[in-house]
Amino acid sequence: MADQGVGRGLVRGAKIGQTGEMETQNYANHRQTVPMFHFVLFPLLVLTLIGSCVNLYCSWGDHHRLYSASLIVVLTLCVLMLLFLCRIFALKAQDRAIRGEENLRHFALTGKLLDPRLTIRQIIALRFASDDEFVALAQQAAEKNLAADAIKQAVKKWKADTYRV
């Protein structure tokens, strides 16, 4: 596909084995991280927040520095909140897309939509199931109210999803 290389190096998830080929995605290695987000931007913002709080504390008696020190703390908190909200909004959009895709998949396989008792977390976990086990696992998840982690562990033939971040 044309977009498989987009962002290569920015998202870490699919591992390269000793043979130089991509390892098959499974329960143990399916979680992905974005190094620039998780290991650079977030820690820098946390350090900035700590530094700005120390600066505010040191400026407490000095009325000339107090305004700018408190402004830096407020702005750092705003950027931190923005960081989390951007992440949450992107994940919510992905959740909606996955719900639609899996509903369509279930409809194509059975002629019926997914059971309405399934939560979004369960549907997201079901995306890893192959077509052979998807319908039965979806029914079992709805009837037994399986946790998302239990659904993922129940998948025998893992269907990789390398696009969700």
Q: Kindly state whether residue 48 falls inside one of the protein's structural domains.
A: yes
pLDDT of res. 33: 84
pLDDT of res. 3: 40
Count of structural domains within the chain:
1
Q: Kindly state whether residue 13 falls inside one of the protein's structural domains.
A: no
CB 52 within 8 A of CB 77: no
> What is the span of the domain harbouring residue 91?
27-154
Q: Kindly state whether residue 90 falls inside one of the protein's structural domains.
A: yes
- Paired residues of 16 in beta bridges: 22
Q: Kindly state whether residue 9 falls inside one of the protein's structural domains.
A: no
Q: Kindly state whether residue 110 falls inside one of the protein's structural domains.
A: yes
**How far, in Å, are 66, 118, 145 from residue 52 at the CA level?**
11, 44, 46
Q: Is residue 63 helix, strand or coil?
A: helix
Q: Kindly state whether residue 3 falls inside one of the protein's structural domains.
A: no
Residue with more model confidence, 2 or 135: 135
pLDDT digits (tens, 9 = 90+) for 98-112: 999 999 999 999 999
